[in-house]
A = this chain, B = another copy of it.
């Protein structure tokens, strides 16, 4: 495990002979290439991620720079950005600037890479059941703060919720974060006002670890009103982003960012949320990943608890929690009762009606299928298949991908 604390902001951005030379994964070229790729296309982009998986980051970047990509989706992903030739120059500049600002870049070859996020590799569901192109694992993380990223996230719980939180929500989020941080767990959240800020403040107050995952450059205090808090987080925990130094907090980036909050933690707690909020999307991803999706209830008279209650009503695998003890029970799998509780996909699979079970059985173990093929295999009409697929998707038992319907990745 490297000690980034000793040379904060440089261990990642400098050439690292230990990583196997400049061209190897985790080396300088790899790092530059990954930063360049997140500049060329949004993090999580399917086409770019597939290219990196196939050739490695530096060769993938070369291919993108040297030849106009033949792949339609790939071309669509990168043409929104400046010329390809600028990409490498941009990345090198960003890495140098990051070094000056105390920000390092962490890539999959590094010892501090948070491996849990790689579970996103096969996750393709978004809230509305549409294919989401931007759910692939991160190519790299920009990190501010002295602690090693992976170790910090190892025992971590996300606390997510509304910006327009009520006093109740702020109180609960602060208390929860304090207690979890006090119990040695890292709190993870975004950088917004409301529940996010309350969670960080609670963890800071308990002298615990907290991680802010941003949708812009790690040097950028957004929202500005939380600037002082970000400085405290960088001292006591970590500020993390997939976007390079200088990147702006564009609106669509928050949804892309949410998948990291879901994937990097051992479980997530939703404290307050309006109907159909960003937090609901995060919980949807948590459920799809088979991680504990925990929800704090509130007064049914409060608009800021509507989203929480909707998640609890809409998904039998969302768990109501009322305290840090409840949360630790869920993420820690402590006690026999919990171990017995039917929760995994293998159990969900057994609790379906006959038609849904037939549809699920028709989905191939590897690869994907179409509703039409499923209908033929299951001996049902397509309309029935489509309806059952919605239910199966909601339960996280199937996912819909570009190429059709497939089984989700195995629960860890």
Within 8 A of B (CB), among A187-217: none
Do residues B351 and A342 form an inter-chain contact, with CB atoms below 8 A? yes
B-side contacts of A352, CB under 8 Å = 342
Could you tell me the distance in whole angstroms from the C-beta of A292 to the nearest C-beta in chain B?
13
Do residues A299 and B301 form an inter-chain contact, with CB atoms below 8 A? no
Copies per complex?
Answer: 2
The residue on B at minimum CB distance from A330 is B313
Do residues A320 and B340 form an inter-chain contact, with CB atoms below 8 A? no
* Interface: A387 (CB within 8 A): yes
In the bound complex, what is the Cα–Cα distance between A214 and B276 (angstroms)?
A: 44
Sorting the interface of chain A by its residue count into under 10, 10 to 19, 20 to 34 or 35 or more gives 35 or more
Do residues B313 and A340 form an inter-chain contact, with CB atoms below 8 A? no
* Interface: A61 (CB within 8 A): no
In the bound complex, what is the Cα–Cα distance between A306 and B323 (angstroms)?
A: 11
* Interface: A220 (CB within 8 A): no
Do residues B391 and A340 form an inter-chain contact, with CB atoms below 8 A? yes
Within 8 A of B (CB), among A118-142: none
Do residues A309 and B301 form an inter-chain contact, with CB atoms below 8 A? no
* Interface: A347 (CB within 8 A): yes
The residue on B at minimum CB distance from A390 is B337
The residue on B at minimum CB distance from A391 is B340
Could you tell me the distance in whole angstroms from the C-beta of A360 to the nearest C-beta in chain B?
13
Do residues A313 and B342 form an inter-chain contact, with CB atoms below 8 A? no
7 further A-B pairs in the complex, CB-CB below 8 A; given A168-B299, A309-B320, A312-B320: A168-B301, A297-B298, A313-B322, A320-B320, A340-B353, A342-B352, A351-B351
Contact of A309 among B313, B322, B350 (CB under 8 A): B322
Interface-centre pick from A351, A356, A387 (highest chain B CB count, 10 A): A351
B-side contacts of A297, CB under 8 Å = 297-300, 305, 309, 312, 320
B-side contacts of A301, CB under 8 Å = 168, 171-172
In the bound complex, what is the Cα–Cα distance between A277 and B299 (angstroms)?
A: 20
What 1/0 flags go to A279-298 for Cβ under 8 Å of B?
00000000000000000111
B-side contacts of A326, CB under 8 Å = 313
What would be 28 A-B contacts, judged by CB atoms less than 8 Å apart?
A: A168-B299, A168-B301, A171-B301, A172-B300, A172-B301, A297-B297, A297-B298, A297-B320, A298-B299, A299-B299, A300-B323, A306-B322, A309-B322, A312-B312, A312-B320, A313-B320, A313-B321, A313-B326, A316-B316, A320-B320, A337-B391, A340-B356, A340-B388, A342-B352, A342-B353, A347-B351, A350-B350, A350-B351
In the bound complex, what is the Cα–Cα distance between A124 and B208 (angstroms)?
A: 49
Within 8 A of B (CB), among A377-403: 387-388, 391
B-side contacts of A305, CB under 8 Å = 297
Which residues of A pack against B, CB within 8 Å?
A: 168, 171-172, 296-301, 305-306, 309, 312-313, 316, 319-323, 326, 336-337, 340-342, 347-348, 350-353, 356, 387-388, 391
Considering the complex of A and B, which 8 residue pairs feature the smallest CB-CB distances, nearest first? A297-B297, A342-B351, A350-B350, A300-B322, A351-B351, A309-B322, A347-B351, A312-B320
B-side contacts of A322, CB under 8 Å = 300, 306, 309, 313
Contact of A387 among B171, B336, B351 (CB under 8 A): B336
Could you tell me the distance in whole angstroms from the C-beta of A293 to the nearest C-beta in chain B?
14
Interface-centre pick from A300, A336, A391 (highest chain B CB count, 10 A): A300
B-side contacts of A388, CB under 8 Å = 340
In the bound complex, what is the Cα–Cα distance between A300 and B172 (angstroms)?
A: 8
In the bound complex, what is the Cα–Cα distance between A323 and B306 (angstroms)?
A: 11
In the bound complex, what is the Cα–Cα distance between A356 and B340 (angstroms)?
A: 9
B-side contacts of A312, CB under 8 Å = 297, 312, 320
Could you tell me the distance in whole angstroms from the C-beta of A272 to the nearest C-beta in chain B?
11
The residue on B at minimum CB distance from A310 is B322
